[in-house]
Structure 1
Amino acid sequence: MREFSLPALYEVPADGNLTDLIRRNAAQHPDVAVVARKRGGEWADVGAAEFLAEVQAAAKGLIASGVQQGDRVALMSRTRYEWTLLDFAIWSAGAVTVPVYETSSPEQIAWILSDSGAVAALVETDEHLRAVESVRDRLPALRDVWRIDPPRNSRGRDAGSDAPTDTGTGSGAVEQLTAAGGDIDDATVEVRSSAANADSPATIVYTSGTTGRPKGCVLTHRSFFAECGNVVERLRPMFRTGESSVLLFLPIAHVFGRLVQVAAVMAPIKLGHVSDVKALTDELAAFRPTMILGVPRVFEKVFNSARAQAQAGGKGKIFDKAAETATAYSRALDEPSGPPLGLRLRHKLFDVLVYSKLRTVLGGLATHAISGGAPLGERLGHFYRGIGFTVLEGYGLTESCAATAFNPYDRQKIGTVGQPLPGSVVRIADDGEVLLHGEHLFTGYWNNEQATQEALADGWFHTGDLGTLDSDGYLAITGRKKEILVTAGGKNIAPSVIEDGIRAHALVAECMVVGDGRPFAGALLTLDEEFLPRWAQEHGKMTLSHEQLLRDEELLAELQQAVDTGNALVSRAESVRKFRVLDTQFTEESGHITPSLKLKRGVVAKDFADDIDALYA
């Protein structure tokens, strides 16, 4: 099949914007918990009316500070209640949110804030503030910077720094904005909140590009309405107002996290935030969500941790047998005859011994999860469905406002990324590339008309991914035309940025960053044949054999410095964690380099598959 579409289930408003959602919730469900936040270590519900009041109070502060209609405001923070609050406050002030990953380097911050022309920034911590201040001279449009966390002293200055910070004393950004907006009346906020229409930009999300410069994807209010409205309606049994809840631990700077946020408000269902993934297990038990949104790495970790715990307790064989049974049971569900009697009995036994405990780890109430950002794989898909916790895999990009395809709860096909978002079209081009069309798509790249024309040729978005459609319209992703790596955690990595930094070291001849579908980025290095003997002589290593030299601790330490240089150009999440030195060269003759000296990544990955696997052993 070359093309498939489904009719829209949600009609995008002809006018209006995302702030209409919080006003509607306050009017129709004033006391229903739409958000929950931690107070005194305990989860406390925030009703729709209370949330609206807090959003509008912060919006008044932004307006009082001089933020105008259409201005860009950067937001750099971990996932927390204030992220959602301030996102809607920015929209309520008539402005455009520019998310920045909280792990971003000063170079990345400088580019994003400069390119977007951000007039203000909301950052979470002292470290974030220092990073912004370190590049302040390159940001002529930036006027105000507020810190979400309260300052560490009462003088309005960052301890140990001369950089002016928060204007208040002992209070964070939300409190300062609320105080600053005291003279702004409700009518002014109403005018600002209503000024943007469906086709106005809601956010500019910067995504990694092969050139190394992140591109700003302009997503409109229409994009989110079409995306989230159709997701909620297609998965309506999972979005029951007053009953359903979701615990968000993905970065909201990532478009997938943003989808979760807006969809929860649109439904509405209760939304909770977790900043520290290390605390996720405890928070799942305390919050007890009915639905979980995650990336494959999270579900892989739950499985591996449970297996390791079972092995430590002498029950490894039982766990492995239970996992085998769960997978077999799930596969049998797809057969006309269903699971045979013997399998059903084993499954029932293991449900008592193993599966119920795993569901408890996931909060105890959730029966479904949605996974995106990277391929989940059939193994995990069948295992989780087999234990009574169905993970619905989806597929999308920043340019498609997150999910452009997903498995419906009632018609799942494990091994695929599901059917197209209702109201959109998926087409497979002659070369196998996945093309998209629909209201949920971005309108273009900010300040980059050439890239926009290339990506949106003939009215279709060219994803750069390869795929197939089956007779029922289920999409399977088979490869990637572009070079962007996507880790198991869903982080996009532009390898050329880090590679260029590492190759700057005289010892390094070639570098190829790997990590597609893996838990982190790694690198394969080859050494410069001319410089290596010179280095060995300078460091008194001439007596070492070539093989011994490649394992020499002093040499490896210097190569680590080269890797550190490359890592300094990117965020921690994109950084190379491990590298492996190859006893060979990438050349045109070996088939690893093109005549224009570009790496043939596919050939290298195939020829050195064992070395790549060793990085993750």
Structure 2
Amino acid sequence: MREFSLPALYEVPADGNLTDLVRRNAAQHPDTAVIARKDDSGGWQDVTARRFLAEVNAAAKGLIGAGVQPGDRVALISRTRYEWTLLDFAIWSAGAVTVPVYETSSPEQIQWILGDSGATAVVVETPAHAAAVEQVRAALPALKHVWQIDDGAVEELGRLGQDVSEDTLEERARSSKADDPATIVYTSGTTGRPKGCVLTHRNWFAEAGNAVERLGPLFETGRCSVLLFLPLAHVFGRLVEVAAMLAPIRLGLVPDISNLTGELASFRPTLILGVPRVFEKVYNSARAKAQADGKGKIFDKAAATAIAYSRALDEPSGPSFGLRLKYKIFDKLVYGKLRAVLGGRGEYAVSGGAPLGERLGHFFRGIGFTILEGYGLTESAAATAFNPWDKQKIGTVGQPLPGSVVRIADDGEVLLHGEHVFTGYWNNAAATEEALEDGWFHTGDLGTLDEDGYLRITGRKKEIIVTAGGKNVAPAVIEDRIRAHALVAECMVVGDGRPFVAALVTLDEEFLGRWCAENGKPEGTTAAGLRDDADLLAAIQSAVDDGNAAVSKAESVRKFRVLPAQFTEESGHLTPSLKLKRNVVAKDFADEIEALYRR
């Protein structure tokens, strides 16, 4: 199939903007908790729709009082927290445009984004962020204001807005129309300078409205809740914020995942949004704990049963009597405990950012926690395809967002069309012209559509490796399989113009200590000290063998090298959304790659 679409389920307001959501919630659900914030003791404090609107209005008046004009760009540099969402809606209520910046950004990156967007104001979270802005402020002549959340930014905005009238606020809040920019989200920049994707209020209404309608049971007001720990500077995290407010359902915001298990237990969400690595770690940690407690064989049998049970759900006959009996036993022994780790009320998760893999998809559905895999880009306001709750097809990224079209070009590239697709790159007509052709966005991803319109992503056009033998290899398939192993943090396949495919592998430092203890290695042994260890190489080889099982012989990894340290954002090898900067890795580890092909 070359093209597939679904009819729209949500009608975008003709002249509305995203501030309509908080005003509507306050009018229709005034006492409903729409958002929860962390208090000083680490507990959750609910904020009602009425109170949230009041706080948004107060901050918006402050922005107006400070001189922020309609259409001005206001940047946000902060972790995911209550104030991020409060200020996002306040910026929109002042008629301005939000420019999110990752809180891990360097001064050079901050200078580029604030300078390119022409930001007139920025709200930062910490003194370190303020110092980073100050370091480059001389190169930012348009920047007039810097406020710091940890130094009373919200309170200061409240004081600045004391003389702004309700009429002025109302006029500003209604000044932006559906086709006006709501935000400029800068791409992670795996190559070159990040580009600013202009996303309008219409884009977000079409995206969030149709997603909420299609995933109805996941967004029931008064019953459902979602815990967000993804960065709000990332488009996926932003979709969660807007969709939760549109539904509305209770939204919890967590600044980091260092205590994710504890946050899940205290908030007890019905819905979780995450990337595959989060779910891989849940599985790997549970399995490692079972092994440490001498229950590894029981866990492995339970996992195999869960996967078999999930697969049987897709068969007309369903699970057999014997399988249902085994499932009941393991539900009491294992699955119930795993669901408790996920908060106890969790029913669904939505996963994006990278392929989840069929094994994990079937495992989690088998334990009673369904992960719906999706696919999207910054340019499509996050999800452009996702698995529907009632018609999941594990191994795919689902059907197109209702109201949009997915087309597969002759060369296999995935093309997108719909109201959720961005309008262009800020101040970059050449890049816009290259990406958008007759209203179709060229994603750069390769994929296929099945007879039911379910999309599979098979790789990136620019990442295709052509071996010396002329074989085209899409790295994503085998990399994702190898990365699923508990010991593997990252895997990058190489082999362009080479006689065979090989791989660079980094170790998961969090899991490495546990592996060392289980395999008799000295405590504190590092990846650098183990990279030539026979036992470790055998474990990584098993991961490579599993990856090779998913591809042809010509595409399989013949050799690999374990690197002495993980790829990180700080090292410059990962983007803030944890995507590999392949060109940087290839340059920095050129000697390691050469060693793979040395006779």
TM-score (norm 1): 0.78
Aligned counterpart, 2:7? 7
Q: Percent identity?
A: 72
1:180 to 160, 178, 183: 160
Distance 1:515 1:256 in 2: 28
Which one-letter code corresponds to 2:339 in the other structure? Answer: R
Distance 1:440 1:51 in 2: 27
Q: 1:325 to 1:451 in 2, by over 3 A?
A: same
The alpha-carbon deviation at position 179 of structure 1 amounts to: 1.3
Q: Which moved more, 1:391-400 or 1:135-144?
A: 135-144
Alignment of 1:550-589 (within 5 A): 567=572, 582=591, 585=594
Report whether the alignment pairs 1:387 with 2:367.
yes
Distance 1:566 1:317 in 2: 38
Q: Which moved more, 1:203-212 or 1:309-318?
A: 203-212
Q: Secondary structure at the match of 1:183?
A: coil
Which one-letter code corresponds to 2:416 in the other structure? Answer: L
Aligned counterpart, 1:35? 35
The alpha-carbon deviation at position 44 of structure 1 amounts to: 1.5
Q: Is the 8 A contact 1:567 1:575 kept in 2?
A: no
Query: Number of matched residues?
Result: 507
Alignment of 1:24-103 (within 5 A): 24-39=24-39, 40-103=41-104
Q: Is the 8 A contact 2:81 2:254 kept in 1?
A: yes
Which one-letter code corresponds to 2:107 in the other structure? Answer: P
Aligned counterpart, 2:237? 257
Q: Is the 8 A contact 1:235 1:408 kept in 2?
A: yes
Distance 1:438 1:351 in 2: 43
Aligned counterpart, 2:140? 139
Alignment of 1:261-300 (within 5 A): 261-300=241-280
Aligned counterpart, 1:22? 22
Which one-letter code corresponds to 2:58 in the other structure? Answer: A
Alignment of 1:293-372 (within 5 A): 293-372=273-352
Distance 2:419 2:207 in 1: 8
Structure 1 residues 561-592: Cα deviation after superposition (integer angstroms, max 9, x where no partner): xx999739976967999976746749xxxxxx
Q: Is the 8 A contact 1:105 1:568 kept in 2?
A: no
Q: Which moved more, 1:463-472 or 1:274-283?
A: 274-283
The alpha-carbon deviation at position 518 of structure 1 amounts to: 9.9
Distance 2:363 2:436 in 1: 38
Q: Is the 8 A contact 2:265 2:340 kept in 1?
A: yes
Q: Secondary structure at the match of 1:344?
A: helix
Distance 1:107 1:568 in 2: 16
Distance 1:569 1:295 in 2: 15
Alignment of 1:194-205 (within 5 A): 194-205=174-185
Q: Secondary structure at the match of 1:195?
A: coil
The alpha-carbon deviation at position 482 of structure 1 amounts to: 3.1
The alpha-carbon deviation at position 458 of structure 1 amounts to: 2.1
Distance 2:573 2:86 in 1: 31
The alpha-carbon deviation at position 519 of structure 1 amounts to: 7.5
Report whether the alignment pairs 1:476 with 2:456.
yes
Q: Is the 8 A contact 2:384 2:401 kept in 1?
A: yes
Which one-letter code corresponds to 2:8 in the other structure? Answer: A
Distance 1:349 1:459 in 2: 54
1:436 to 408, 416, 421: 416
The alpha-carbon deviation at position 398 of structure 1 amounts to: 0.2
Aligned counterpart, 2:403? 423
Report whether the alignment pairs 1:130 with 2:131.
yes
Distance 2:462 2:349 in 1: 29
Point out where structure 2 has 5 or more consecutive residues left out of the alignment: 465-474, 481-501, 510-531, 533-563
Q: 1:20 to 1:123 in 2, by over 3 A?
A: same
Which one-letter code corresponds to 1:416 in the other structure? Answer: T
Which one-letter code corresponds to 1:408 in the other structure? Answer: P
Which one-letter code corresponds to 1:109 in the other structure? Answer: I
Which one-letter code corresponds to 1:567 in the other structure? Answer: G
Distance 1:515 1:54 in 2: 50
Distance 2:282 2:574 in 1: 32
Q: Secondary structure at the match of 1:292?
A: strand
Distance 1:181 1:515 in 2: 55
Q: Could you say which structure has the larger radius of gyration?
A: 1
Q: Is the 8 A contact 2:178 2:201 kept in 1?
A: yes
Q: 1:18 to 1:136 in 2, by over 3 A?
A: same
Q: Secondary structure at the match of 2:422?
A: coil
Aligned counterpart, 1:121? 122
Which one-letter code corresponds to 2:231 in the other structure? Answer: P
Q: 1:386 to 1:584 in 2, by over 3 A?
A: closer
Distance 2:504 2:90 in 1: 37
The alpha-carbon deviation at position 208 of structure 1 amounts to: 3.1
Q: Secondary structure at the match of 2:359?
A: helix
Q: Is the 8 A contact 2:198 2:422 kept in 1?
A: yes
Structure 1 residues 298-337: Cα deviation after superposition (integer angstroms, max 9, x where no partner): 0001001111111111111111111111011101111111
Structure 1 residues 468-502: Cα deviation after superposition (integer angstroms, max 9, x where no partner): 000000000011113599998xxxxxxxxxxxxxx
Q: Is the 8 A contact 2:351 2:373 kept in 1?
A: yes
Aligned counterpart, 1:405? 385
The alpha-carbon deviation at position 515 of structure 1 amounts to: 8.6
Q: Secondary structure at the match of 2:402?
A: coil
Q: Is the 8 A contact 1:105 1:570 kept in 2?
A: no
Aligned counterpart, 1:551? none
Q: 1:571 to 1:220 in 2, by over 3 A?
A: closer
Which one-letter code corresponds to 1:80 in the other structure? Answer: R
Q: 1:421 to 1:569 in 2, by over 3 A?
A: closer
Which one-letter code corresponds to 1:397 in the other structure? Answer: L
Q: 1:519 to 1:454 in 2, by over 3 A?
A: farther
Distance 1:269 1:102 in 2: 26
Q: Is the 8 A contact 1:104 1:572 kept in 2?
A: no
Distance 2:265 2:397 in 1: 29
Q: 1:2 to 1:387 in 2, by over 3 A?
A: same
Q: Secondary structure at the match of 1:567?
A: coil
Q: 1:571 to 1:255 in 2, by over 3 A?
A: closer
1:240 to 203, 213, 220: 220
Distance 1:302 1:70 in 2: 43
Which one-letter code corresponds to 2:6 in the other structure? Answer: L
Q: Secondary structure at the match of 2:343?
A: coil
TM-score (norm 2): 0.80
2:204 to 186, 211, 224: 224
Which one-letter code corresponds to 1:449 in the other structure? Answer: A
Which one-letter code corresponds to 1:56 in the other structure? Answer: N
1:467 to 447, 450, 454: 447
Q: Secondary structure at the match of 2:259?
A: helix
Which one-letter code corresponds to 2:194 in the other structure? Answer: P
Point out where structure 1 has 5 or more consecutive residues left out of the alignment: 151-171, 489-512, 521-546, 548-558, 587-606, 611-617
The alpha-carbon deviation at position 180 of structure 1 amounts to: 1.3
Distance 2:234 2:89 in 1: 16
Q: Secondary structure at the match of 2:116?
A: helix
Q: Which moved more, 1:466-475 or 1:207-216?
A: 207-216
Alignment of 1:479-498 (within 5 A): 479-483=459-463
Distance 1:564 1:248 in 2: 21
Q: Secondary structure at the match of 1:11?
A: coil
